[in-house]
Structure 1
Amino acid sequence: MRRRGGAKKDILTPAMSSSEEEEEEIVIPSQFQCPISYDLMKDPVIIASGITYDRENIEKWFESGNQTCPVTNTVLATLEQTPNHAIRRMIQEWCVAKGSSLDRVPTPRVPISSHQAIEICGKLLSATRRGDHVVCVEMVEKMKRLGQESERNTKCFKANGVGLVLCVCFNAFSENANASELLEDVLLLLTWMFPIGSEGQANLTSTTSFTRIVGFLKSGDQNAAFLVKELLSLDEAIVHKLAAINGVFDALVKSIRDSSSLTSIFHMISAKPETTSRFMELGLVNSTVEMLVDSENSVCEKALLVLDAICESNEGRTIVRGNELVMPILVKKILKISEFAKKSLVSVMWKICKSGDGSEVEEALRLGAFKKLVVMLQVGCGEGTKEKVTELLKMMNRHMKMNGFVDVSDSSIEFKHLKKPS
């Protein structure tokens, strides 16, 4: 449908056939128009004031914080909406009567109510306590279907405590070898439910739950990777719990292509630095550097955060310096990444140059880092980053003077002539 005008008496204009020279003008009857948008209602609902609106428009009104009827301005006792089946049928009949001029308004799927969400949640909890696998599968599949129908259903489940019950269910069946499909669906539903609260968190981070989640992570399950990332960001104590799970380091490195796993590795190294050695043994540096080659900006940000965390230790810096791709990639990306990523990049370069034997500084110079760092300094950057850039430039300038090195990328630039950023 194409629409002309915008006044209360909305005009619809049908598509023209090749033989038509004039457009038929169709006036939407006022009782079929939403009082908010004046458009044809697709999903008419009645609110507590007795006025009918299109569901999408009245929900936006309520989501904006309003608790009144837009037409009468009366304060509503409830924000519940009831489908107006009579008006919907009349609209559909009217559309059909207009023939090919208008598309028939489809029968909408009615969103679930809080009462229905609580009922489904209660059945799942009862079945979980009984260990009734069949009913749990039935309830979880029902939640999955309803959640995929609309975001409103997902929000309704989340608002009515479903997240906690799902965590309890996962924990209860985590040792059941025959519950893989159920647990996989629960993981999917849980990605819609964060934050899950302290009780849900306790169930999901139990040894048996974490062991099962790591099992899914090993198989490349993206929902498991997302949940691990979310859980690790909540509390450092969870990092120590996860680190004790057999196979977790291998699972995270193997799933590093999922940016969630990159973030999880960063959380683990930052909160528990002793995990760096274990990650190093599994080739984390090589895997992370490979991620920097052709990944999008958001992935580069996370990969550089991981490299920066690795370089906090002597062992980490030694292994990073030993990777022949590190300096070429860092120099290449200096001016091609986000401001947030530049902070980590400069930190990595500063750490490996400062702790090295001078060969890293020479390599950076040979690759044209001097000029690019000058540009970064002149354009402006954060205070901490500016200090590291300045120190890097001083190291490079000293190296050039001591070794007669000429920066072929721009030999006219001298450090003493650097313009200080305002």
Structure 2
Amino acid sequence: MCDTNARRVLTFPAIRPCESVSPATLLSSLITLAKNICSYKSRHIFTNASNAKHSFRLVGNILVFLEDIRQYETSLSYEMVLSLSELHFVFQKLRFLLEDCTRSDARVWMLTRSEKVSYQFRAIFRSVSVALDVLPLDSLNISYELKELMGFIKQQALNSKLGFRPEDERVLELLRSVLDQLEQQMNPNLKRVLEYLGIRSWTQCNNEIKFLDSEIGLERSTPKKSDLGILSSLMGLMTYSRCRVFTVINDEENPASSDGFRRSNHLISSMNVDDFRCPISLEIMSDPVTLTTGHTYDRASIEKWFKSGNLTCPKTGEKVNSGSLVSNLCIRSIIKQYCVEKGILLGESVGGNRSREIAHANTGGSVAAEAAIKMAVDFLVDRLVFGTTDAKHKATYEIRLLSKTSIFNRACLVEAGVIPCLLDLICVKNPKIQENAIAALLNLSKYPKSKKVLVENGGLELILEVAQNGMKMEARQHAAGTLFYLASVDEYRDIIGKIPRSIPVLMELVLEGTNRCKKNALVAILGLLMYPENHWKALAAGVVPLLVDLLRSSSQCEDLLVDSLAILATLAEKPDGTMSILSCGALHVILDVVGSTTSKASKEYCVALLLAMCTNGGADVVRVLVSNPSLMGPLYSLLAEGGSRASKKASSLIRIIHEFNEKHASSTTRRPVDHFQEQFVNVW
């Protein structure tokens, strides 16, 4: 399910066999490992092919010996077991190296590392020779021919002519020349490099970009960042190649709904956002790392914990080495998928993307990368204006991908004048072009300078039109997300709110859309409510009954409940909002939610909502709360485990309930709850 490997390329986390392992188990495992190595012969090796072929011959010959001595596995000497253990350790490293050499998505990176890889092959061959040199063959009753074979293998391992392949060296020099041309903003000739690496399609090129992007993310989390420049240059080169060289997108799909995401849909849907929060900061982890205790924290939080003088695991209290932080790539990938699947627009920090973007907001990572992106953007804008329908379709898709990647890319696109072109294209009667164009505008709306350009070019009405009448639900979903980001500016909240159909259109998406579409619409409504004048407009449009119905629906995902509660809590801060909520009979619904939800965020919003309703609704609201003793459990739980604001609100609500009980302790009569609900209905 993960979109990144659990091991970085050219790292070799081999583990020596346990000293207590039985000879039979060790030998069986070693034979399996050798066969696995030989199976790589059927894969295409793009660089260091001759070195890999030498390793296949070497391991294949050793495999003959291993299978022959199986008959003696119960009587293997201690020295023999030590030798086989060392061989097992070395074979693990060789398998990792071959796995990297045959990766179909790391071809250009492995080319740049080809000299280092040749050194690795030599080191592994020397280690094999050492392991065989101490092999006590005389202790085995094997044929003279087999002993001769092992002697030959040992010499082969020691004297094999391994080195930097001349063909690899020539193409590597050509690649360096191409990067130099990019730095000078010259259109490079990429054909020979791409052909040598077998990169012949848009998909293969895009896979290289995905790999390089993941490596850049990992490299930025390391202290030295020694490879960051070359990784960025290669990323720019492959992005330029994808835009310019490959004219056909042979596997276009929604970047946020690939097969991997669809396959994991059930698992992702069963997860809770609280599962991804750092135990220290309680925020969604952007760079999860795991300690030797097995517990996972956000890197920034645990490093701050260590710097404050704590050398223990915060959860277990066990002493740990502060330098033993291991990036948890699987958790990081799952968090990224979760945010995409749930439509969490504020989750840019997930996967480290946001922190990386902030740190490198004004740079592409290298001179070559910056030039490559600028040249690619100029090419794409030209296609938007003068291209055929097919060319515009590809250009909008490429811009969609580029605008998703980094702040630098967004800045280049905005400066090149892409926004007016995209606004024109969201009106065309082509569902793919419309979807890609509005998705690109969504990504660009995250960049501060783009918001003004969007609004000044009449973008609000056009985006609302797509939100209401988009040809695909995905386009409507992206339009709602774009409105959310535009509503982050106070001035634009006012402008959007003054458009009569804005809130009704978002409400329509909450009713009709997919979960991600509903999510985008809800957070957009919440953003508009940050402007006071939009408060009564939302009430007049009927937002409250819509949200209460969402709360009543047990089939809704937890995230939608959280967003609904957040909006209701905001509305309840004013008396008219409280009255509207109470008139819908929402009080008991909220009490049911606070008693049944497992989400800390839902509980916190419920408590904020109940506190506001007590403040604005008076004693009748408190009376209903007092009649629900099950409420006290969640309140005390938040008091102990919630954030500072949630704890204060829980404490205030507990105090109100206690004061009410004390004041009315002698009272033996209470008004019926049904009468209480009726009075609010009559008011409205």
Relative to the length of structure 2, the TM-score reads: 0.44
In the other structure, the counterpart of 1:340 is: 601
> Equivalent of 1:352, from 592, 608, 613?
613
Higher share in helix = 2
Amino acid at match of 2:533: E
Counterpart-to-counterpart distance in 2, 1:203 and 1:311: 35
Counterpart-to-counterpart distance in 1, 2:504 and 2:564: 17
In the other structure, the counterpart of 1:267 is: 527
With over 3 angstroms needed to count, the CA separation of the structure-2 counterparts of 1:399 and 1:352, relative to structure 1, is farther
In the other structure, the counterpart of 1:230 is: 485
Counterpart-to-counterpart distance in 2, 1:274 and 1:298: 27
In the other structure, the counterpart of 2:507 is: 253
In the other structure, the counterpart of 2:558 is: 297
Aligned residues with identical type, % of pairs:
11
Higher relative contact order (CA 8 A, sep 6+): 2
C-alpha RMSD of the superposition? 4.3
Q: Does residue 578 of structure 2 align to residue 317 of structure 1? A: yes
Equivalent residues in 2 for 1:8-407 (5 A)? Answer: 26=38, 28=40, 31-32=48-49, 37-39=97-99, 40-43=101-104, 44-45=107-108, 47-48=111-112, 51=115, 60-63=214-217, 64-65=219-220, 68=226, 79-80=233-234, 118-126=374-382, 132=385, 135=387, 137-143=389-395, 155=405, 159=409, 161=411, 163-164=413-414, 165-172=417-424, 182-193=433-444, 195-198=446-449, 200-206=450-456, 208-219=458-469, 221-233=476-488, 235-257=489-511, 258-270=518-530, 272-293=531-552, 294=554, 295-324=556-585, 326-335=586-595, 336-372=597-633, 375-376=636-637, 379-381=640-642, 382=644, 383-398=647-662, 400-404=664-668
Counterpart-to-counterpart distance in 1, 2:31 and 2:456: 59
Q: Is the 8 A contact 2:493 2:527 kept in 1?
A: yes
Q: CA deviation at 1:339?
A: 2.6
With over 3 angstroms needed to count, the CA separation of the structure-2 counterparts of 1:205 and 1:13, relative to structure 1, is farther
Counterpart-to-counterpart distance in 2, 1:224 and 1:158: 23
SS in 1 for 2:617: coil
Q: CA deviation at 1:206?
A: 3.1
Amino acid at match of 2:520: S
Q: CA deviation at 1:284?
A: 0.7
Answer with 274-283 or 47-56: which moved more. Answer: 47-56
In the other structure, the counterpart of 2:246 is: none
Counterpart-to-counterpart distance in 2, 1:121 and 1:280: 44
Answer with 278-287 or 362-371: which moved more. Answer: 362-371
- Count of aligned pairs between the two proteins: 350
Counterpart-to-counterpart distance in 1, 2:36 and 2:663: 80
Q: Is the 8 A contact 1:147 1:153 kept in 2?
A: yes
Q: Is the 8 A contact 1:288 1:303 kept in 2?
A: yes
SS in 1 for 2:611: helix
The C-alpha deviation readout for 1:270-311, integer Å capped at 9, x for no partner, is: 2x2222222112211111112222232222221111111111
Amino acid at match of 1:341: S
Amino acid at match of 2:510: I
With over 3 angstroms needed to count, the CA separation of the structure-2 counterparts of 1:37 and 1:228, relative to structure 1, is farther
Q: CA deviation at 1:224?
A: 0.5
Counterpart-to-counterpart distance in 1, 2:214 and 2:545: 48
Q: CA deviation at 1:202?
A: 1.7
Counterpart-to-counterpart distance in 2, 1:385 and 1:280: 25
Counterpart-to-counterpart distance in 1, 2:638 and 2:432: 54
Stretches of structure 2 lacking an aligned partner (at least 5 in a row):
1-11, 16-28, 53-93, 118-196, 198-207, 239-368, 512-517, 671-684
Counterpart-to-counterpart distance in 2, 1:24 and 1:309: 60
With over 3 angstroms needed to count, the CA separation of the structure-2 counterparts of 1:147 and 1:7, relative to structure 1, is farther
With over 3 angstroms needed to count, the CA separation of the structure-2 counterparts of 1:314 and 1:122, relative to structure 1, is same
With over 3 angstroms needed to count, the CA separation of the structure-2 counterparts of 1:208 and 1:137, relative to structure 1, is farther
Counterpart-to-counterpart distance in 2, 1:156 and 1:178: 29
Q: CA deviation at 1:209?
A: 1.0
Q: Is the 8 A contact 1:352 1:360 kept in 2?
A: yes
Q: Is the 8 A contact 1:123 1:139 kept in 2?
A: no
Amino acid at match of 1:308: A
Counterpart-to-counterpart distance in 2, 1:157 and 1:343: 33
Stretches of structure 1 lacking an aligned partner (at least 5 in a row):
15-21, 84-112, 407-422
Counterpart-to-counterpart distance in 2, 1:370 and 1:59: 48
Counterpart-to-counterpart distance in 2, 1:48 and 1:312: 59
Counterpart-to-counterpart distance in 2, 1:197 and 1:405: 59
Counterpart-to-counterpart distance in 1, 2:380 and 2:231: 31
In the other structure, the counterpart of 1:18 is: none
